[in-house]
């Protein structure tokens, strides 16, 4: 088929999926700029150290930035793979991508705040200062209410970002005939959708717990289901994809 020759060969980093994305589009370039801006804002929120004590505190809190950076890079990798694999540039994809970029900027701040909170708990730093309110300002529920909303904002950001990833995967699935996805590529598209839905479901469970019981600790523990669920689902679907790829290669 003519379209077969228009698509790139299977990349070494993605041997099971043909890449349909050609040159980097303006949509991808703009998305990369938003990711870069988000990382810049997170770094810029920390003032340059003027004393050795401030320098020491910066290095002490380096794991906070690493966690935030790794999460954003994971989201970037998902985004990069999507546009390389499917090369979609239509209006619907552009709208979904715009909403996704807005949400990724929104997620960065509650993500860094929560990572800082957890890191301080681990190293024994007093976290009460993180919930001090300005004079004359009141928050419903006091410090406990702030911790509840910390988990709500994080859950909403996670739900929004990976919910948009799921919608982008559905967009690609709806165009499977136009994109001429083969059997393996269709299988991997559904697998990608499944991974994003796992994150969405876990975020919803956490939000339900926090809304019903108001226990931020329990709502946070729910997120430990993410690595377990993703590893199990990824191992099962990945093994099946490899077997399918072997059969197709032999044929």
Q: Residue ranges of the domains in the chain? A: 2-8+22-250
Residues recorded for the chain: 251
How would residue 141 be classed by pLDDT, with cut points 50, 70 and 90?
A: confident
Q: Is the pLDDT of residue 3 over 90?
A: no
How would residue 187 be classed by pLDDT, with cut points 50, 70 and 90?
A: very high
The dihedral region occupied by 124, where left means phi > 0, alpha psi between -120 and 50, and beta the remainder, is left
Q: Which of 126, 133, 245 is nearest to 182 (CA)?
A: 245
Q: Are 100 and 168 in contact (CB under 8 A)?
A: yes
More confidently predicted of 144 and 156:
156
Query: Token match 């991974």: residue?
Result: 195
How would residue 13 be classed by pLDDT, with cut points 50, 70 and 90?
A: low
Task: Quote the tokens at residue 75.
Answer: 């989201």
More confidently predicted of 225 and 5:
225
């Amino acid at each position: 088929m003519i379209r077969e020759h228009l698509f790139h060969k299977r990349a070494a980093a993605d041997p099971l999926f043909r890449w349909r994305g050609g040159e980097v589009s303006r949509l991808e370039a703009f998305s990369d700029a938003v990711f870069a801006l988000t990382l810049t804002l997170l770094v810029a929120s920390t003032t340059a150290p003027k004393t050795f004590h401030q320098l020491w505190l910066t290095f002490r809190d380096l794991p906070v930035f690493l966690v935030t950076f790794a999460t954003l890079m994971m989201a970037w990798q998902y985004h990069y793979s999507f546009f390389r694999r499917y090369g979609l540039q239509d209006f619907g994809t552009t709208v979904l991508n715009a909403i996704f970029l807005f949400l990724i900027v929104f997620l960065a701040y509650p993500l860094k705040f929560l990572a800082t909170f957890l890191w301080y708990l681990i190293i024994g730093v007093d976290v009460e200062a993180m919930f001090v309110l300005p004079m004359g300002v009141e928050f419903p529920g006091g410090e406990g209410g702030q911790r509840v909303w910390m988990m709500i904002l994080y859950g909403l950001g996670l739900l929004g970002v990976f919910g948009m990833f799921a919608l982008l995967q559905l967009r690609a699935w709806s165009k499977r005939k136009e994109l001429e996805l083969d059997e393996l590529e269709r299988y991997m598209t559904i697998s990608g959708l499944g991974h994003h839905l796992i994150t969405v479901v876990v975020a919803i469970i956490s939000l339900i717990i926090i809304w019903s019981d108001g226990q931020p600790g329990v709502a946070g523990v729910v997120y430990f289901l993410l690595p377990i669920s993703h590893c199990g689902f990824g191992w099962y679907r990945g093994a099946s994809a490899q077997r399918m790829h072997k059969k197709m290669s032999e044929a």
